[in-house]
Amino acid sequence: MHSFRTAAFTAAALCFAGSFTVAHAQTNAEAAARRVQAVRVPNGSITVDGRLDEGVWAQGDAAGDFVQMQPVEGAPATAAHRSEVRFRYDDENLYVGATFFEDEPDRLVTNDLKRDFPGARDGDLYVLILDTFHDRLNAYNFQTNPGCALRDSQSYDDGRSVNANWDTVWFCESSVDEKAWYVEEAIPFKQLRFPKGSEQTWGVNVFRLIRHTNEQTVWNQIPRQFNQFKTSYAGVLEGISGVTPGRNIRIKPFATTQGRNDGRRTLGDADGGLDVKVGLGTNLVLDATWRTDFSQVEADAQQVNLTRFSLFFPEKREFFLENQGALQIGPPTGFGGRNVNFVPFFSRTIGLSEQGTPIPVVGGLRLTGKVGRNTIGIMNMQVDREERPAGLGFLPSANYSVFRYGREFMSNSSVGLFFLDKERGTASNRLGGADLKFYPMRTMNIDALYMRSQHTATDDGTAWRAGFQYDPGLTIYTVNYTSLGQTFRNELGFIPRQGVDILTGSVLHRFRPRVLAPRIREIRAELPYSRFDRNAINPLTGHALGLETETVSPVITAEFSDSSNVSFQTVRNLEVLSTPFRPQGIPTGRTIPVGEHTFYANELSYDPTNARRFAPAGSVRFGEFYNGERVGYTAGMRVRASEKLAATVSFSRDNIDLPEGVSFNTDLASLRVDASFSTRMFLNAYIQYNSVTRQWLSNIRFDFIHHPLSDIFIVYNDTRYQDGLSPARTTQVPTRALILKVTHLFSF
């Protein structure tokens, strides 16, 4: 317990220091922020039909005079693409009426009608950002396109982290004529969280992308190196008074039935469960789930692992994606680099085995929200026992607890305390610590993290990291250092390597030559560096084992005016193998030998814009692979027949030749078909082949939104092995499942 008292003292000291840092002062940008008035209208005076023909839309001012983020930062929006956005409200809803002038309406691009449509920037786009607490950190975001498909999200940490899987009830209709496209929205106040008080002052910003010219405009100016969710640059929405967020109670029961066939027998079963969301006051939300079901979640994209360590798969399950900002420990995933080396809390550890097999979730509770400048996140989940293969029996059921408290200081910095706990039978893993996100200016990020672990199978351990990033505009400087102690254990996080010290850094510079401006919008040159040192002690020398991996990987990227990209990267790898290495796909009995391996690899890739009806993509890989050679390629094409139908096909192959005549190849193939019959009915088919696992995997999902946030899902899953054989050359039979799931939301 002494170690945990030390950790608690360190964490408390960090919080104490943060709370007494320089007090928040209004910046020049805040004082100069644009302001727009919302106008109260009689209840029922607006019909959301996308036409803006009610007389109340002519009252009051509009958010207009947009400025460019790209291509000419700070310049007025082109005259042919002016934008005007008006705000009205009554007792129940905030109404938004937007007019987006367009001199070539036949060139508007609508890529998708699906709810939470992917690739938002692949077509014309309008985004409304609402910072309802006016804390310049967090916001609700409402995005749509000319077809009025719904895409909503939450952003945290001044836009550095975005949860695209947050969903709420809102309404949208659009129309197009010869001079503009129009959007009319109704956002119920009971779906939002905002402070108590008769007068409301919210942060607001509006972003527009004109796809056929790739002009990006915004109402309150944001420097182009940031995204549109940079809340600290938002303007101000005034005039809302006498409204309340409602009771904010949601009850969402579900029922599911399925039939499964494992090649020997057909089984069927039925189940049901419940999700409940209750607003506590105006700032806190309590979520409860019972017999949680994720059968409608899309299958993971297959990957071939040619590295020595675990690959990262993103979280896709709705319950764990909601309000995740309150439980985020440390910087957002990928901060300061592309590699995911240390994620302190990773929700995929709950309800999924190490092989990705679902484990039944009995239920759980989550409390999240803000009280003043304090953020609270508490979650407890109970999962059922875990079935193991090959007759190994069951692992006991497990309980997971997560607690995080954060305190904001200055304009948008924060410091936090956290505690994680996993209990399974007599085994436990407990972790405590503190994290800091400090932004002395909007172009500078400093983060720090300290954790201490207790595990029943090993001694106490520690982990810490510190990071710095400076982005004044054209050049970004980043450096991060992470130390994972040899006895540090975290079964609630994602840690590909145990017992290492990790140094990563990069310098990125943007070139915007005027002479190339009509064709090339930006050239980015980046020099990333990473080094992994094993910190275990060598018993023979008494010193740390030392260098394990080192990479230097300069890359240059050209972004074209249509937002497509071409990049070339060369990588110098140094890998020190202390044990033989077997990459996926290598023939049985073959390995890459122990020793120090220095090898060079290169990749040339093209990433298209999906705004085009035909969007080919591809990459070529060539160079060395440890003590051998590697040649590979990826080729793909997306074809968009209309906003209602698109298909994407992709094939990837790597050929690897090693000494002594050892050769092998790996293949990945996929076909995705996305059909949107309307903004409420969708069909998606995702078929994949993986030559390493010798599997064909099919995931076909039909979704009908019969009521806001209420769905009827029909899902078909099929897994079969090539020639009926698994990688171990043992006979495997196909498995199939047909699932029906019905949900219905009751909102109060």
Contact in structure between 409 and 389 (CB atoms under 8 Å): no
- Helix, strand or coil, per DSSP, at residue 619: strand
As beta bridge partners, residue 379 has: 366, 402
Q: Is 607 exposed, middle or buried (0-12, 13-18, 19+ CB in 10 A)?
A: middle
**547 vs 532: CA distance, rounded Å:** 6
**189 vs 187: CA distance, rounded Å:** 6
Range of the domain at 234: 33-241
**Location of structure tokens 């207009």:** 64
pLDDT tens sequence across 291-333: 888 878 887 888 888 888 888 877 777 788 777 778 889 887 6
Instruction: With respect to residue 70, please indicate whether it lies within any of the assigned structural domains.
Output: yes
**319 vs 344: CA distance, rounded Å:** 19
Instruction: With respect to residue 365, please indicate whether it lies within any of the assigned structural domains.
Output: no
Q: What is the pLDDT of residue 4?
A: 36
Residue 29 has pLDDT above 60, yes or no: no
Instruction: With respect to residue 198, please indicate whether it lies within any of the assigned structural domains.
Output: yes
Distances (CA, A) of 350 to 245, 284, 317, 489, 535: 32, 23, 11, 16, 29
Dihedral angle, C-alpha 299, 304, 308, 312, nearest 10 °: -30
First-to-last CA distance in the chain?
46
Instruction: With respect to residue 596, please indicate whether it lies within any of the assigned structural domains.
Output: no
User: What pLDDT band is residue 1 in, cutting at 50, 70 and 90?
Assistant: very low
**84 vs 567: CA distance, rounded Å:** 37
Instruction: With respect to residue 279, please indicate whether it lies within any of the assigned structural domains.
Output: no
> Which token pair is 506?
């990069």
**429 vs 457: CA distance, rounded Å:** 9
- Buried b / exposed e over 334-370, threshold 16 CB at 10 Å, is ebbbebbbbbbbbbbbbbbeeeeeebbbbbbebbbbb
The letter for the amino acid at 100 is F
**135 vs 139: CA distance, rounded Å:** 9
- Helix, strand or coil, per DSSP, at residue 14: helix
> Which token pair is 593?
């030998």
| Residue 9 host element (H or E) | helix 2-19
Q: Phi, psi (5° rounding) for residue 591?
A: -145, 165
pLDDT tens sequence across 648-699: 999 999 999 999 889 999 999 999 999 999 999 999 999 999 999 999 999 9
Mean pLDDT value across residues 481-490: 95
Q: What is the pLDDT of residue 309?
A: 85
Residue 13 has pLDDT above 90, yes or no: no
Strands (E), 391-543: 394-395, 398-409, 413-424, 427-441, 444-455, 458-470, 475-484, 500-511, 520-537
User: What pLDDT band is residue 282 in, cutting at 50, 70 and 90?
Assistant: low
Q: What is the pLDDT of residue 333?
A: 66
Contact in structure between 464 and 449 (CB atoms under 8 Å): yes
Instruction: With respect to residue 447, please indicate whether it lies within any of the assigned structural domains.
Output: no
When divided into structural domains, the chain yields a total of 1
Query: Which of 339, 324, 340, 344 has its CA nearest to residue 448?
Result: 344
Of 19-23, 447-451, 497-501, 584-588, where does mean pLDDT reach its minimum? Answer: 19-23
Residue 33 has pLDDT above 60, yes or no: yes
> Which token pair is 66?
């947009």
The letter for the amino acid at 50 is G
As beta bridge partners, residue 669 has: 651, 689
Q: Is 589 exposed, middle or buried (0-12, 13-18, 19+ CB in 10 A)?
A: exposed
Residues in the chain: 748
Of 97-101, 515-519, 592-596, where does mean pLDDT reach its minimum? Answer: 515-519
- Note the maximum CA span of the chain: 85
Contact in structure between 162 and 228 (CB atoms under 8 Å): no
For CA atoms 220, 226, 228, 232, the dihedral sign is: negative
Residues ≥6 apart with Cβ < 8 Å to 30: 136
Tell how strand 735-743 and strand 710-721 pair up.
antiparallel
**466 vs 412: CA distance, rounded Å:** 18
**135 vs 132: CA distance, rounded Å:** 8
Q: Phi, psi (5° rounding) for residue 474?
A: -95, -20
Q: Phi, psi (5° rounding) for residue 450?
A: -135, 135
Tell how strand 565-577 and strand 374-383 pair up.
unpaired
Contact in structure between 390 and 372 (CB atoms under 8 Å): no
Mean pLDDT value across residues 541-569: 90
Mean pLDDT in the chain? 88
What value, to the nearest 5°, has the Cα angle with vertex 595 and ends 591 and 600? 85
Tell how strand 628-642 and strand 215-218 pair up.
unpaired
pLDDT tens sequence across 129-182: 999 999 898 899 999 999 999 999 989 888 888 888 788 899 999 999 999 999
CATH number assigned to the domain comprising residue 223: 2.60.40.1190
**485 vs 341: CA distance, rounded Å:** 14
**620 vs 34: CA distance, rounded Å:** 48
**Location of structure tokens 């600290």:** 232
Instruction: With respect to residue 42, please indicate whether it lies within any of the assigned structural domains.
Output: yes
Instruction: With respect to residue 303, please indicate whether it lies within any of the assigned structural domains.
Output: no
**379 vs 321: CA distance, rounded Å:** 13
Contact in structure between 405 and 375 (CB atoms under 8 Å): yes
Q: Please state, as a whole number, how many other Cβ atoms lie within 10 Å of the Cβ of residue 520.
A: 16
> Which token pair is 401?
């607890």
Q: What is the pLDDT of residue 300?
A: 81
More confident residue, 65 or 31: 65
Q: What is the pLDDT of residue 3?
A: 42
Residues ≥6 apart with Cβ < 8 Å to 621: 601, 602, 603, 630, 631, 632, 633, 654
Dihedral angle, C-alpha 141, 145, 151, 155, nearest 10 °: -30
Task: Report the share of the chain in percent with pLDDT over 70.
Answer: 92
Report pTM: 0.83
Q: What is the pLDDT of residue 724?
A: 66
Mean pLDDT value across residues 397-418: 92
Residue 201 has pLDDT above 80, yes or no: yes
pLDDT tens sequence across 447-473: 999 999 999 999 999 999 999 999 998
**289 vs 317: CA distance, rounded Å:** 13
